A and B are shown apart, each in its own frame.
Chain A
């Protein structure tokens, strides 16, 4: 935990020195990416692959957009509002859909993302297909926005990690392992699953709000199935077992992606190849690879008792 907090502090402080321009912008998008990937990872704790991440990300973005452009709400309100709106709708959605599992839950998430996209594009109040423009962070922090984003993302990810390590987090993992047993000791498995989903959706909503302020314009096309796929890519490449996974994955893919796409490669090919390679060659992601290498290095100097096979 201290490592995580220290890492973010260093990242945030470091980002302040990068100055404006391209690098600074990359840092901004890395922050948003790691938050969306962390949100998806959080739902993985209860054993579900959440393709509705994009839907709640989009809800956060549009809420922030509406709050800022239609209601002139202060930045903090708009930002948090994105998270709150996403969380509220996710409570209803999750309550109904978390009765399904696996590929069925995945498809419902996917379907919901598409429905929301269609809703945005048909709704004139939200700008229809052209979307919304003019979503700016307050001028006071505008030049520091990447640092602000890193800090906000860091705070949310640290909070998610704290929950993961708490009793509630243990219940999530227990449900993933054997939900029948958890039910048998009198715990409402459904209620706990919904709680996990709502928390993750709040994080996704915040990521969406940050996106809105970072990009200044949003449109329905930004929040489709592809967005969930990117979050999935960050997660698989980074490694889904560790809290550092989404962070590593986001950093690597956003950086590599900008290089690759600068050289003309398509977005699709890049992310597609990244996912395929990660799944085939490094199932535990980069963090898993590093951890395995670390164990190799440690094993030689010390005699370590062999782990019994499971």
Chain B
């Protein structure tokens, strides 16, 4: 029983990151009908900056949590800058062009990975955890930092839901996502909404990256694995569906957790890939998708 709970807890903490990731991906797809394979680069950039700025700030005399916080701000700012550039010069012209935007994003992935490798070097960086120690919940162990991560993921999801449901901006985003021509006719500034939606998605990715930095080995190719899983989560759940992204993320996290426990990580990976193929065969537009 305790192992089951441990597995579930592991699944939840893995799932937390995937949720933050896939929410961004599905948001961009919903609002812009764009498939952004390069989403992982915001994640990676934020993590890399945290890994670089945190020790630097600490060396300046900032104490632990403040150094970290400063680094997080730097990381998110950098990711937003990258996002704005990528949107302004790229994705803005490829809205509603699935293939074109995907191809562009593939190019961006390669480009960013290469640049990050050059600028930051390929070596692994470690960021000391901000919140130390383990927490025991019902006999199962979880690193306190991961608990914080999970908490932030939940909070972000709730916040996103609230924004989408209750604010004017959120309703505008939903309108654009459902029928962008009708939204335009209503006077909704689709271009601005798309940009803001893109930035929100970028922030979600950056936050995930900043939070994972203390737990993970930070390298310029950190985003790749999470990206693939996040992507799979979005596709399983159905492109454009926020609940779908969450369902898909948790689904994958569960398989990864169970698979990693019973077999080993690479078998778990294979299982995920096979499962996504099966889901798509049965429901070609994802579990909750509108296609």
Residues of chain A having any CB pair with chain B under 8 Å: 49, 96-97, 99-104, 106-108, 110-112, 114-115, 118-119, 121-122, 229, 232-233, 236, 265-276, 278-280, 283
- Main secondary structure on chain A at its contact with chain B? helix
- B contact residues, range: 35 or more
User: Which of B109, B112, B235, B274 meets A107, CB within 8 Å?
Assistant: B235
B228 to chain A, nearest CB (A): 7
Contact present for B111 and A111 (CB under 8 Å)? no
A297 to chain B, nearest CB (A): 28
What B residues does A274 contact at CB under 8 A? Answer: 107
Contact present for B273 and A266 (CB under 8 Å)? no
User: Which of A100, A269, A270, A276 meets B281, CB within 8 Å?
Assistant: A100
Residue of A97, A100, A118, A271 most packed against chain B (CB within 10 A): A100
Contact present for B98 and A102 (CB under 8 Å)? yes
Contact present for B114 and A266 (CB under 8 Å)? yes
A sample of 15 more A-B contacts (CB under 8 A), given A104-B239, A118-B273, A272-B114, is: A49-B102, A97-B281, A101-B284, A106-B102, A107-B235, A107-B276, A110-B228, A111-B273, A111-B276, A273-B110, A276-B90, A276-B104, A278-B107, A279-B107, A280-B90
What B residues does A96 contact at CB under 8 A? Answer: 277, 281
Number of A-B contacts defined by CB within 8 Å: 112
A232 to B104, alpha carbons, bound, how many Å?
Answer: 11
Residue of A nearest to B236 (CB): A107
A150 to B100, alpha carbons, bound, how many Å?
Answer: 31
A179 to chain B, nearest CB (A): 14
26 A-B residue contacts at CB 8 Å?
A97-B281, A99-B284, A100-B284, A101-B284, A102-B98, A102-B99, A103-B98, A104-B235, A104-B280, A106-B102, A107-B232, A107-B235, A112-B277, A118-B266, A121-B266, A229-B110, A265-B114, A267-B114, A268-B110, A268-B111, A275-B104, A276-B90, A278-B107, A279-B100, A279-B107, A280-B104
Q: Which residues 139-165 in B have Cβ within 8 Å of A in the complex?
A: none
- Main secondary structure on chain B at its contact with chain A? helix
A233 to B64, alpha carbons, bound, how many Å?
Answer: 45
The 9 closest A-B pairs by CB, nearest first: A272-B110, A275-B107, A272-B111, A269-B114, A268-B114, A276-B107, A111-B273, A100-B284, A266-B114
Residue of A nearest to B86 (CB): A276
Interface string of B19-54 (1 = CB under 8 A from A): 000000000000000010000000000000000000
A89 to chain B, nearest CB (A): 14
Contact present for B106 and A97 (CB under 8 Å)? no
Contact present for B118 and A269 (CB under 8 Å)? yes
What A residues does B286 contact at CB under 8 A? Answer: 104
Q: Cβ of B269 < 8 Å from any Cβ of A? A: yes
What B residues does A229 contact at CB under 8 A? Answer: 106, 110
Contact present for A103 and B114 (CB under 8 Å)? no
A227 to chain B, nearest CB (A): 12
A96 to chain B, nearest CB (A): 6
What A residues does B113 contact at CB under 8 A? Answer: 268, 272
A99 to B278, alpha carbons, bound, how many Å?
Answer: 12
What B residues does A280 contact at CB under 8 A? Answer: 89-90, 93, 104
Contact present for A273 and B107 (CB under 8 Å)? yes
A183 to chain B, nearest CB (A): 16
A110 to B102, alpha carbons, bound, how many Å?
Answer: 13
Interface string of B66-85 (1 = CB under 8 A from A): 00000000000000000000
Q: Cβ of B95 < 8 Å from any Cβ of A? A: no
Residues of chain B having any CB pair with chain A under 8 Å: 35, 89-90, 93, 98-100, 102-104, 106-115, 117-118, 228, 231-232, 235, 239, 266, 269-270, 273-274, 276-277, 280-281, 284-286
A282 to chain B, nearest CB (A): 13
What B residues does A271 contact at CB under 8 A? Answer: 107, 110
Contact present for B266 and A122 (CB under 8 Å)? yes
Residue of B nearest to A283 (CB): B100
Residue of A106, A278, A283 most packed against chain B (CB within 10 A): A106
A272 and B108 contact, Cβ closer than 8 Å, known pairs A107-B231, A107-B232, A118-B266:
yes
Residue of B nearest to A278 (CB): B107
A232 and B106 contact, Cβ closer than 8 Å, known pairs A111-B276, A268-B113, A272-B111:
yes
A310 to B9, alpha carbons, bound, how many Å?
Answer: 57
What A residues does B228 contact at CB under 8 A? Answer: 110, 114
Contact present for B111 and A279 (CB under 8 Å)? no
What A residues does B239 contact at CB under 8 A? Answer: 103-104
A107 to B252, alpha carbons, bound, how many Å?
Answer: 15
Residue of A nearest to B112 (CB): A272
Contact present for B103 and A275 (CB under 8 Å)? yes
Contact present for B35 and A103 (CB under 8 Å)? yes
What A residues does B90 contact at CB under 8 A? Answer: 276, 280
A17 to B103, alpha carbons, bound, how many Å?
Answer: 37
A268 to B220, alpha carbons, bound, how many Å?
Answer: 12
Contact present for B281 and A99 (CB under 8 Å)? yes
Residue of B nearest to A229 (CB): B106
B116 to chain A, nearest CB (A): 9
What A residues does B232 contact at CB under 8 A? Answer: 107, 111
What B residues does A269 contact at CB under 8 A? Answer: 110-111, 114-115, 118
What A residues does B114 contact at CB under 8 A? Answer: 265-270, 272
